[in-house]
A and B are shown apart, each in its own frame.
Chain A
Amino acid sequence: MPGCQGCPQSRNSFERNADLVVALAGNANVGKSAVFNQLTGVDQIIGNWPGKTVERAEGTLQYQGMKIKVIDLPGIYSFSTYSMEELVSRDFIALEKPDIVVNVVDATALERNLFFTIQLLELNAPLLVALNQIDLMERKGISIDYQRLEEILGVPVVPTVAIKGKGISELTEEIIKLGEQKIAPPEIKYGKEVEQRIEKLISLLGKIETFYPHRWLAIKLLERDGEITRLVEGLDSTDGTVVRAAEELAEEIERIHGEPSGVVISAERYKIADEISRKVQKIRTEEETLTDKLDRIALHPILGYLAAVGVIGGLLVWTFILGSQISGILQNALSSVEQYEPVVSGPLGNIIWNGAFTGFVAGVTLVVPYVLPFYIILAVIEDSGYLTRIAIMLDRGMHKLGLHGKAIIPMILGYGCNVPACFSCRIMETPKQKFVAAFLVSLVPCTARTVVILGLVAAFVNIWWALALYAFDIILILLLGRIAFKVVPGESVGLIMEMPSYHVPSAKVVLKQTWARTKSLLWVVFPAYIIGSAVLQAFYAAGLLNPLNDILSPVTVNWLGLPAEVGILLIFGIVRKELTILMLAVIFQTTNFASVMSPVQLIVLALVTMIYIPCLALILCFAKEFGWKKTAAITVFEVTFAIFLGGIVFRMLSLIM
């Protein structure tokens, strides 16, 4: 974040209103969120792929009358400036100075995790190690001498199986103990060549005061960390002597090793991590694991593609089939409770109540049935670890869009809801890739749009036209992605991704996850349905709809060939896409849309709705991630493009249907 070096604390606002502040830090996909959920009882989304936690989550834990604030930081491998998450995490630890940092460590990959532990020690973080996934570790034939590790690191080590809640109470006790009595962890020394230069720099740093420890600053300067170099340069009263010295020392290291100094220091750190691991860890010979066996299929040249297509296609088909079944049952059940024919005359109270009820019924019958099955299977796929395999199989294709395999993850999530999918685009490395991926996500038909496509086209034209719309959308994504790749400036980097081991999805996790997602949907969505529906009903009764529709009619009637009444729907659709179809029922006073619109009109309306704009929530998400300028550009483009395309499709379909 340029221009912010002088005041790094402005990056985040953090309120410290607790007796103890505990931050969870560690590599991606080691179980931080699981530890967090166990400690706080909050349902932070967890899943078996690296990069789910993009934003730090906060929760509180009440323990023995103490209020403990727990912060779940995004998973990172290092404190370099490779990604925003790394910057955010290191600043949180250095600047907010949490009382305790719990370093969640994956016991099955001790070396790589210790590589990060060493960096936490360098930051002088008050550390506690949670050695997680010890069940998996044992199954992999690894054993670790916890006490020895504790002695070497000089900080408490607690073995845990967070997903099952094992070791959590011990962890909590250690947190309290450490909160009362701070311990100073040992300084970790590098090899002579690097160590001498670190010490030289520390002595030069002298009076320069930052939020970071001197030793850490010296190491970062030697690594040529851009942000830290600028920070020190700005504070140096001796006219850049320190930075120049750092530059010379880094060059010396590079001359000796023939590698960039950052790589040399990483290699040294790994040497230390390897040494510690060798002392505390025993590994029996490894057998072929379940992961190896499954990957022979999942990453097979032919079967792998079939599996990927099968899983994504299966997810959608399952959603359609199960969704329409449940939808039908619910519709019957609810219509027997109360008639939901729109009321447009009589007392205002009645009109609004009726509108609100219609909204509620439509939400229950049209949205929930599709959302629930989707999220259940999505949670299963996420938890299994398979998402990363799809990413690998489709990497090559995504390259054509200037992206790489990881971008498929937000897109699959996008079929559920575009908003979390947009946030998850942070797993992409460069700003360009993040933006292109988010743009494409906005074109992925989410469950809301699925509801519209199914409700209009599959129900009243036929299922093939609905599937054709889906296929058309995928082609559109590929084409626009290719264009965006050429148009959007910036650099692209290739795929580097950790591959988690598979595990059998736990029913508890899957259900919790599904509930967490559905809950957030219900909280936001139902009020929108109910209020939107009531407002529309009121508008209608007040005779406000026709003037609005008239203004829009050159587009809706003349260009798109739709009934004038749908004009208002496209506006409501900006709030929530499903409102288009819900309101259609209100306006035409029927749910049998075939009686009021021709098949061509239904297809065109579904197509325009599918593309024309992400909903309000996504617009806000875009604004947060990319700023208003880019958001406005995307919004205007998608609206114009959808209308343009809708008119053409209307004319073409009119010829054949």
Chain B
Amino acid sequence: MPKEQIEEYIEAIFDIAGEKGTAKTTEVANRLKIAPASVTEVFQKMARNGLVQYEPYKGVSLTTKGVEAAIKIKRKHRLLEVFLAKILHIAPEKVHAEACKMEHSISDEVGDAICRQLNAPARCPSGKLIYPCEKGIETCNQCKETLEKDASSASQRKILPVTDLKRCQKGTIAFLRGSSKVIQRLSDLGLTPGTEVTLMRKTPMGGPIELSVRRTALAVGHDIADNIFVEAAGES
């Protein structure tokens, strides 16, 4: 059974019965416009997956796991509504239907990113509460701050060809480019991503450079060295 369908059921139960109440089979069937017989079958499956408790003739109620899933999907749905209305300026009457489709396909990460981008909106366009995320943070500002710090540190990370290092400057190998044979050779000689290298010397007129890696000295032709990218450390 596709994830999307399950999520639709969870949402429907959550809308009808809330966190603790019980939803009748007919109510859910009406809401989803599906025959009650099929709905019963799905309830049984969901019960096996631990999302609901199902009692024949009485109806279903969400388990803790079910509630968590419901809150997550609602959060995404409402965030998407804000995003569609405020940023993309989609007509208000279309917003709900679009969000219903999108909510199933975006990851939690994208949901959180939208949340930050919208400055952590509290309510959706129709005024319903947007549930908080599951991150262990106190305020939404904190989330924004860490994001900004991450972003700026990423842009401050100086990735440059090892040939651009100064003499005796250290760098950490970020990645290698070039033919697979050459890349393999370089990594076999110890120039693997994450390794610290020191530029010992350059020779004139674009000649080879000397690198110190794992206490061995390697001479590398300029063309090849241009394709070794490092994150530069401070000069020493």
Question: Which residues on A are within 8 Å of B, measured CB to CB?
Answer: 77-78, 80, 82, 108-109, 111-112, 115, 258-260, 262-263, 266-267, 270, 274, 283, 291, 295, 299, 301, 304, 388, 391-393, 395-396, 399, 404-405, 493-499, 501
Which of A109, A283, A493 sits near B216, CB closer than 8 Å? A109
List A contacts of B220 (CB < 8 A): 494-497
In B167-211, which residues have CB < 8 Å from any A CB?
A: 175-176, 179-190, 192-195, 201, 203-208, 210
Instruction: Decide yes or no whether B55 CB sits under 8 A from chain A.
Output: no
Known: A77-B188, A396-B205. A496 touches B216 (CB 8 A): no
Whole-angstrom CA separation of A404 from B222 in the bound complex: 11
B183 touches A263 (CB 8 A): yes
B203 touches A111 (CB 8 A): no
Which of B194, B203, B206, B216 sits near A112, CB closer than 8 Å? B216
Known: A82-B185, A494-B224, A496-B182. A115 touches B190 (CB 8 A): yes
In B197-236, which residues have CB < 8 Å from any A CB?
A: 201, 203-208, 210, 214-224
List B contacts of A404 (CB < 8 A): 221
Known: A295-B201, A396-B207. A82 touches B181 (CB 8 A): yes
List A contacts of B224 (CB < 8 A): 493-496
List A contacts of B201 (CB < 8 A): 295, 299
A499 touches B203 (CB 8 A): no
Whole-angstrom CA separation of A77 from B188 in the bound complex: 6
A304 touches B193 (CB 8 A): no
List B contacts of A494 (CB < 8 A): 182, 220-224
Known: A80-B188, A395-B207, A499-B210. 15 other contacts (CB 8 A): A80-B185, A108-B215, A109-B214, A111-B215, A112-B216, A115-B188, A260-B184, A263-B183, A263-B184, A395-B203, A395-B208, A405-B221, A493-B179, A493-B181, A494-B220
Which of A258, A496, A499, A501 sits near B185, CB closer than 8 Å? A496
A654: min CB distance to chain B, Å: 41
| Residue from A78, A115, A395 with most neighbouring chain B CB atoms (10 Å) | A395
List B contacts of A259 (CB < 8 A): 175-176, 193
A14: min CB distance to chain B, Å: 26
A391 touches B193 (CB 8 A): no
Chain B, residues 46-84, CB within 8 Å of chain A (1/0): the string is 000000000000000000000000000000000000000
List A contacts of B181 (CB < 8 A): 82, 493
List B contacts of A395 (CB < 8 A): 203, 207-208, 219, 221
Q: Which residue in chain A gives the minimum CB-CB distance to B227?
A: A494
Which of B195, B206, B214, B219 sits near A396, CB closer than 8 Å? B206
Whole-angstrom CA separation of A267 from B190 in the bound complex: 8
A496 touches B221 (CB 8 A): yes
B175 touches A258 (CB 8 A): yes
Whole-angstrom CA separation of A78 from B181 in the bound complex: 12
Report 8 cross-chain contacts, Cβ distance below 8 Å, ordered by A residue. A80-B185, A266-B187, A266-B192, A295-B210, A392-B203, A392-B207, A395-B208, A497-B218
B208 touches A266 (CB 8 A): no
Whole-angstrom CA separation of A115 from B184 in the bound complex: 14
Q: Which residue in chain B gives the minimum CB-CB distance to A405?
A: B208
Q: How many A-B residue pairs have CB under 8 A?
A: 128
B218 touches A496 (CB 8 A): yes
List A contacts of B205 (CB < 8 A): 396
List A contacts of B217 (CB < 8 A): 291, 498-499, 501
List A contacts of B183 (CB < 8 A): 260, 262-263
A299 touches B216 (CB 8 A): no
Whole-angstrom CA separation of A283 from B215 in the bound complex: 11
A82 touches B184 (CB 8 A): yes
List A contacts of B176 (CB < 8 A): 259, 263
List B contacts of A260 (CB < 8 A): 180, 183-184
| Residue from B182, B210, B216 with most neighbouring chain A CB atoms (10 Å) | B216
Which of B185, B187, B203 sits near A304, CB closer than 8 Å? B203
B50: min CB distance to chain A, Å: 27
A603: min CB distance to chain B, Å: 35
Whole-angstrom CA separation of A80 from B188 in the bound complex: 9
Whole-angstrom CA separation of A108 from B206 in the bound complex: 30
B8: min CB distance to chain A, Å: 31
Whole-angstrom CA separation of A404 from B218 in the bound complex: 15
List A contacts of B206 (CB < 8 A): 396
Whole-angstrom CA separation of A263 from B222 in the bound complex: 21
B203 touches A263 (CB 8 A): no
Whole-angstrom CA separation of A405 from B220 in the bound complex: 10
List A contacts of B190 (CB < 8 A): 111-112, 115, 270
Q: Which residue in chain A gives the minimum CB-CB distance to B220?
A: A496
Whole-angstrom CA separation of A18 from B205 in the bound complex: 55
Whole-angstrom CA separation of A111 from B192 in the bound complex: 12
B182 touches A262 (CB 8 A): no
Whole-angstrom CA separation of A80 from B184 in the bound complex: 8
Q: Which residue in chain A gives the minimum CB-CB distance to B216?
A: A109
List B contacts of A495 (CB < 8 A): 208, 219-221, 224
Which of B188, B193, B210, B223 sits near A299, CB closer than 8 Å? B210
A548: min CB distance to chain B, Å: 51
Q: Which residue in chain A gives the minimum CB-CB distance to B190?
A: A112
List B contacts of A498 (CB < 8 A): 189, 216-219
B184 touches A267 (CB 8 A): no
Q: Which residue in chain B gives the minimum CB-CB distance to A501?
A: B217
Known: A260-B183, A263-B193. A499 touches B188 (CB 8 A): no
List B contacts of A304 (CB < 8 A): 203
Instruction: Give 6 closest A-B pairs by Cβ, nearest first.
Output: A494-B221, A267-B192, A495-B221, A78-B188, A499-B217, A266-B187
A112 touches B187 (CB 8 A): no
Whole-angstrom CA separation of A501 from B218 in the bound complex: 11
A61: min CB distance to chain B, Å: 31
B189 touches A262 (CB 8 A): no
Whole-angstrom CA separation of A396 from B181 in the bound complex: 21
List B contacts of A396 (CB < 8 A): 203, 205-207, 222
Q: Which residue in chain B gives the minimum CB-CB distance to A283?
A: B215
A376: min CB distance to chain B, Å: 27
List A contacts of B180 (CB < 8 A): 260, 262
List B contacts of A291 (CB < 8 A): 217
A30: min CB distance to chain B, Å: 11
B189 touches A112 (CB 8 A): yes
Q: Which residue in chain A gives the minimum CB-CB distance to B179?
A: A493
List B contacts of A399 (CB < 8 A): 221
List B contacts of A267 (CB < 8 A): 187, 192-194
B218 touches A499 (CB 8 A): yes
| Residue from A262, A391, A496 with most neighbouring chain B CB atoms (10 Å) | A496
| Residue from A258, A270, A283 with most neighbouring chain B CB atoms (10 Å) | A270
| Residue from B188, B214, B220 with most neighbouring chain A CB atoms (10 Å) | B188
Whole-angstrom CA separation of A304 from B222 in the bound complex: 17
A75: min CB distance to chain B, Å: 12
A263 touches B214 (CB 8 A): no
Known: A111-B214, A295-B201, A404-B221. A270 touches B182 (CB 8 A): no
Whole-angstrom CA separation of A399 from B210 in the bound complex: 17
List A contacts of B185 (CB < 8 A): 77, 80, 82, 496
A485: min CB distance to chain B, Å: 15
Which of A112, A262, A391, A501 sits near B184, CB closer than 8 Å? A262
Q: Which residue in chain B gives the minimum CB-CB distance to A305?
A: B204
